[in-house]
């Protein structure tokens, strides 16, 4: 279930109440007159199933409430109510498959911000992976992949592509365009220090480091894994299955490829440098393509549900007029 909190001027609040009363998927409806102070108006509280949340929020948006008031969407972790059970039965679909589009948009918009914390995590992830490449330790590489925050902007770019939001796409591109070069530069500088202080050997070859060789040798499975990870990642993000997202970031070699680009550049291993660059491009492209296609299919399903809902509303209004 999802909890909605609506603040609206009295006229819009009355329209919203009428809309919610007619919806069999709305329950625990509360109307508090005149309690809102900034902006002034009424407050409406209501619980709706996840699978019907975006449809109902769409109706509230159509009333112009976001311009004059506010609509807040909050997930309900635990709720004991027979009214809620009846509301869920009235909503088509399964809660586990439901996508609350406002939730997806809010998550991805937040993750595209080019913040200091995002850049620090990119650098730290790449440095951890670099240590794993030098030591040929897979556990360190996996650890760095978990730390890496790059999936957020990639997912946001998928949302921007499906919803045609140019500003979100630019923010996502900026985060990736700054984050990856900064991470590569950090590993390159660290590699110079490691080499100068004798922490790493004077020569480095992927032939002597199995993990580095794997990273710098992309093949058709590189795209296949990235494509599968893109689907899993987008489903995880859109259906609130955050646990699966950990597996997604471990399965793709974006951060390892970026770190290996810097290491290969430091030692002049140009074949490995080209292979790592190609690995990075393949992984990012695979995730983008798969994530966008997954989100597009989910969006088409939502639009068909929205169209059916609007037809039902018009039919109901026509029946009321005849009566």
What ranges do the domains of the chain cover? 2-97, 104-303
Sheet arrangement for strand 2-8:
27-37, 40-48, 2-8, 70-75
Mean pLDDT of 92-113: 79
Whether the per-residue pLDDT at 122 is higher than 90: the answer is yes
CB 272, CB 302: distance < 8 Å: no
Give residue 244's pLDDT: 55
pLDDT in tens, 219-278: 999 999 999 989 988 888 887 665 556 666 666 789 999 999 999 999 999 999 999 999
Mean pLDDT of 101-111: 81
Backbone dihedral region of 119: left (phi > 0), alpha (psi from -120 to 50 degrees) or beta?
alpha
Mean pLDDT of 15-35: 93
> Helical H runs in the chain?
10-22, 50-62, 65-68, 82-90, 101-111, 116-135, 138-147, 151-163, 166-196, 210-215, 220-238, 242-251, 254-266, 270-322
**Which residues, including other chains, have CB under 8 Å from residue 287's CB and lie 6 or more apart?**
151, 154, 226, 227, 229, 230, 233, 252, 254
pLDDT in tens, 38-48: 899 999 999 99
Mean pLDDT of 296-305: 89
Average pLDDT, rounded, for the chain: 88
Query: What distance in Å separates the CA atoms of residue 18 and residue 313, rounded to the nearest whole number?
Result: 12
Give residue 270's pLDDT: 92
Give residue 221's pLDDT: 92
**In this structure, what DSSP letter does residue 95 have?**
G
pLDDT in tens, 68-94: 999 999 988 888 999 999 998 888 877
How much is the CA Rg of the chain, to the nearest whole Å?
25
Give residue 183's pLDDT: 97
For 23-79, the DSSP string reads -TT-EEEEEEEEEEETTEEEEEEEEE-HHHHHHHHHHHHHTTHHHHSEEEEEE-S--
Give residue 241's pLDDT: 62
Q: Does domain 2-97 have CATH number 1.10.10.10?
A: no
């Amino acid at each position: 279930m999802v909890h909605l909190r609506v603040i609206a001027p009295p006229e819009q609040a009355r329209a919203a109440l009428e809309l919610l009363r007619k919806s069999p998927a709305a329950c625990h409806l509360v109307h508090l007159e005149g309690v809102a102070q900034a902006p002034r108006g009424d407050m409406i509280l209501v619980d709706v199933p996840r699978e019907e949340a975006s449809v109902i929020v769409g109706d509230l948006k159509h009333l112009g409430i976001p311009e004059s008031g506010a609509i807040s969407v909050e997930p309900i972790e635990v709720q004991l109510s027979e009214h809620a059970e009846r509301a869920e039965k009235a909503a088509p679909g399964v809660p586990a498959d439901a996508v609350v589009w406002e939730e997806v948009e809010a998550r991805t918009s937040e993750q595209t911000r080019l913040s200091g914390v995002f850049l620090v995590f990119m650098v730290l992830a790449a440095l951890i992976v670099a240590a794993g490449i030098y030591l040929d330790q897979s556990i360190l590489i996996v650890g760095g992949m978990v730390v890496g925050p790059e999936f957020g902007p990639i997912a946001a770019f998928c949302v921007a592509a499906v919803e045609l939001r140019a500003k979100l796409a630019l923010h996502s591109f900026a985060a990736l365009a700054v984050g990856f070069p900064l991470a590569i530069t950090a590993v390159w500088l660290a590699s110079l220090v490691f080499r100068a202080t004798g922490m790493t050997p004077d020569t480095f070859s992927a032939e002597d480091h199995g993990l580095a060789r794997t990273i710098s040798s992309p093949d058709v499975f590189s795209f296949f894994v990235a494509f599968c990870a893109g689907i899993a990642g987008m489903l995880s993000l859109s259906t609130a299955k955050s646990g699966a997202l950990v597996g997604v970031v471990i399965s793709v070699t974006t951060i390892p490829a970026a770190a290996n680009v810097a290491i290969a550049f430091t030692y002049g291993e140009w074949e490995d440098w080209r292979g790592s660059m190609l690995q990075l491009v393949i992984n990012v492209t695979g995730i983008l393509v798969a994530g966008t296609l997954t989100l597009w299919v989910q969006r088409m399903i939502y639009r068909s549900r929205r169209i059916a809902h609007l037809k039902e509303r018009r039919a109901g209004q026509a029946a009321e007029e005849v009566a």
